[in-house]
Structure 1
Amino acid sequence: MELEVRHLRALCAIADAGSLHRAARQLGVAQPTLSTQLVRIEQALGGPLFVRERTGCRPTPLGRTVVGRARPLLADMRALVREARAAAAGGGSRLRIGSTASRALAGWLRRLRRPGREPTLQMDVSANALLRGVAAGQLDIAFVHEVEGCPLRVPEGLRLRVLVEREPQFVMVPAAHPAAARQVVHLRDLAADRWMVDPTVDGEWDGVHRMLRTAGLDPRVLHGDYHTAASLVATGDVVTVCQPSSQSRPDTAVRRIHGDPLGVRLLLAARTRAELDAVYPALEEAYWEVARQSPAYRDLLEPPGPAAPHRPLAAPAP
C-alpha cells in the first residue's frame, strides 16, 4: 500500500478530532470505513499510530512523527492547488507576504512589484502566528521581529535570514517632556511617567517589563496598541517604546535610550532559501532607506567623524 494525500488527510483529521467518530464526520465518511483505512495505514507503516481508548484516541510517538510530517505536505498541496487555480484563471502568481509593523514595508513592497507578480500583505502583531502561516503554506514570506530574551517558536522546516541582529528600541516622549531636550534619555528620567505597552505583540510586555525592572523602575503601565500609544504620547499622557526608524513629530520626540537596554532581532522567514534570496535585497534596501530618514537612528548608524558610514547593527551576509 502506498500512502496518498487522502491518507495523510485522514491521519491529521483523527489527530485533530481526538476520535475516529468525530474525524469520520468531518471527512464525510462512515466510521467503520475510516477505522479500516487507519488499520491499513498502520500496517503499511509498520506500527500503531494511535492508541484507542474509550474516550477517543491519541497519537503514539510514531503517530506524532507521521502527523508532524504530514501537515506541511498537506499545506504545500493546498498551496499548489490555490496557485494553479489562480494561474489558470489568469490571475498570475502572487507573492504572499506577512509582516509585523515596520516602516520599511512600503519601500519593500514597491521594490517587489513586477508585471504579473503583485505582492499581497497580511499584517499581524504576532510574529509566531505569521511563522505558522508560512509553515502552513498560507504565506510565502514573513518579516518579523524577535524581542530580546523572548525567542520565537520557529516551525520545523522554515529557513531564516537575519536582517538586523540587534535593533535597539527607542522611546517616544511628548515634545514638551524635559527628556526631549536630550538626544539620549536615561530611563530614570522617565520614572514618574506612565508607559503604554501592547501586550498582544509576542514578547513585547516581557521585554519592556524586564527593561524597566532592571533599571529599578516600577511605573504605571497601560495596555494598548502602539497607534493609540503614539496619540497618547502626543497629548502628554504616556511614554512608549518605539522602533528607531520612527520619526519625531511636532508633538512627540523619538530618542535613544541610554545603554540600549531593549533590542529586537529582525528576521525574514520562508520555506526555501530561494524564496529568501528573491526578496531579501529589496527588504535590505528599504530598511536602510527608512533607517537613515530618522535623525535619531541615523546618528547611531553614522556617528560623526572621519569614518565612512557603516551598518553596525546589520547581520553579516550568510
Structure 2
Amino acid sequence: MRHLRALCAIADTGSLHKAARFLGMSQPSLTTQLRRIEHALGAELFTRGRTGCRPTPLGRVVLSRARPLVAQMGLLVSEARAAAARADGARLRVGSTASRALAGWLRRLRQRLPGTDITLHMDVSANGLLRALAAGQLDVAFVHEVEGCPLQVPDGLERRVLVEREPQFISMARDHPAAAAPVVDITDLAEDRWMVDPTVDGEWDGLRRVLGAAGIDPPLMHADYHTAASLIVAGEAVAPCQPTSGPRDDMAIRPLRDDPLAVRLLLYHRPGDEGAALYGTAYAALAAAYREAALRTSAYRHWLQRHGTPLPCPG
C-alpha cells in the first residue's frame, strides 16, 4: 500500500517534490522508492521533465488499479479511527495552511471543546490538506485559495467562506525607497527581485499573472518564506505576505495599490462524519481568532477601515 500511495501522490501532484511533501518524506527517498517500483515492474511508470511527472501508458494502467485499492484502504483506516474515537472520546483533527490566526484558533478550540483531543497538521499545500480531509485523515481544513487559481477540491467536501477576498501585502527592507509611502505601486517594485514559494498551491501562477497584468517582468527567486526573511531584510528581495503579518523593526509591510494580489480563506469539512458536529464550533472559533489577528495589526486594521470591509462574524 505504501508503494501504491506513493504512485497516486506523484500522479495527483504532478511533481516528485510536491508528492514527497504530501507524503511526509524527502524527495530523494521518494525518487529511490519510485525507481525500485519501476525496476520491479520492468518499465517506467512516469516521464520526468521540466513540467513535472506524467504517467506513461503503463503508469496509467497501474494507477487505474491502484487508486481504488488506496481509496478502500483509506476508508478502512478512517472507519477504524472513527470507531476508536467513539470509544476513547471526542476528537478533532485540524489541518491548516500557514496563518497568523492559527494560535488563537487552537486556543479557542481547546477552551470551547474541553476534553476533546485536538491535533494539528500543517501543510503549505492546500490541495494536499483537502486530499487528506477527503481520505478521512482530517476533520476540518483551513486553506487559502489564490485568486485566479482554483483549488482541486475532492468530491463530497463542503466549505464555509471565512474571508471572500483577503488582500496580500508586500514585505520589503525597512530602508526600501517604496517603504516611505503608506501604499506601494507594484510598478515601483519592477526592478526588485521577487521571492515566491513554488510549493504553495497557486502562488507562482497567481504572482506571475499579476506581474504580467502590470506589464512588468522582474527577476524571480524560488525559496520558502522562512528562508527568505533574511534576504528581504537585507534588501535582496521583496515578497507577498499575509496582511495579518506583524510589524518588524527590520522589515516594512505595505499594502499594494488596488490590491492586485488576493486569496480566499475557506474552511472545509466532510458532512456526515464524526467531526461534522464540531464544524460550527470550529468555524466560530476561527472567525474570532481571525478578527483578533486582523485588528492586532495596524496596517491591516487601517486597510479594513479605508475599504469598509467587514471581518468574519464568529456567530
| Equivalent pair of 1:268/1:276 in contact (CA under 8 Å) | no
Amino acid in the other structure paired with 1:106: A
CA distance in 1, matches of 2:114, 2:82: 17
**What is the match of residue 237 of structure 1?**
236
Under a length normalisation based on structure 1, what TM-score does the superposition of the two structures give?
0.72
Larger Rg: 1
Alignment partner, residue 245 of structure 2: 246
Partners of 1:167 and 1:266 within 8 A in 2: yes
> Structure 2 counterpart of 1:109, which letter?
L
- Stretch of structure 1 that moved more, 201-210 or 113-122: 113-122
Alignment-derived partner of residue 211 in structure 2: 212
Residues 71, 136 of structure 1: 8 Å contact kept: no
1:131 and 2:130 equivalent?
Answer: yes
Aligned to 1:41: none
SS in 1 for 2:255: strand
* Matched residue SS, 2:94: strand
Q: What SS is found at the alignment partner of 2:91?
A: coil
Question: SS of 1:184's equivalent?
Answer: coil
Give the structure 2 partner of residue 98 of structure 1.
95
Structure 1 residue 87: deviation in Å?
5.6
CA apart distance, 1:150: 0.5
Q: Is the contact between residue 83 and residue 93 of structure 1 (CA under 8 Å) also seen in structure 2?
A: no
Across the aligned residues of Structure 1 and Structure 2, the Cα RMSD in angstroms comes to 3.0
Whether contact under 8 Å (1:247, 1:294) holds in the other structure is yes
| Counterpart mapping for 1:145-164 below 5 A | 145-164=144-163
Q: Which runs of 5+ in 1 are unaligned?
A: 1-8, 17-54, 305-309
Unmatched tracts of structure 2, length 5 or more: 9-57
C-alpha distance after superposition, 1:214-248 (max 9, x if no partner) = 11111111100111122211121110000011122
Give the drift of 1:111. Answer: 0.5
* CA drift at 1:259: 0.6
Measured against aligned partners, the alpha-carbon deviations of 1:126-163 in whole angstroms (never above 9, x if no partner) come to 10010000000011110000001110010000011100
In 2, Cα distance between equivalents of 1:182 and 1:274 = 47
Deviations 1:40-93 (A, max 9, x none): xxxxxxxxxxxxxxx89969xxx99xx87x9767644422312433564x5x33
3-state SS of paired residue (1:244): coil
Aligned length: 255
Partner of 2:282: 279
SS at match of 1:185: coil
For the 8 Å contact 1:164–1:315, the answer to whether it is kept is no
Partner SS state of residue 236, structure 2: coil
1:123-202 correspondence to structure 2 within 5 Å:
123-202=122-201
Distance 1:71 1:155, change over 3 A: farther
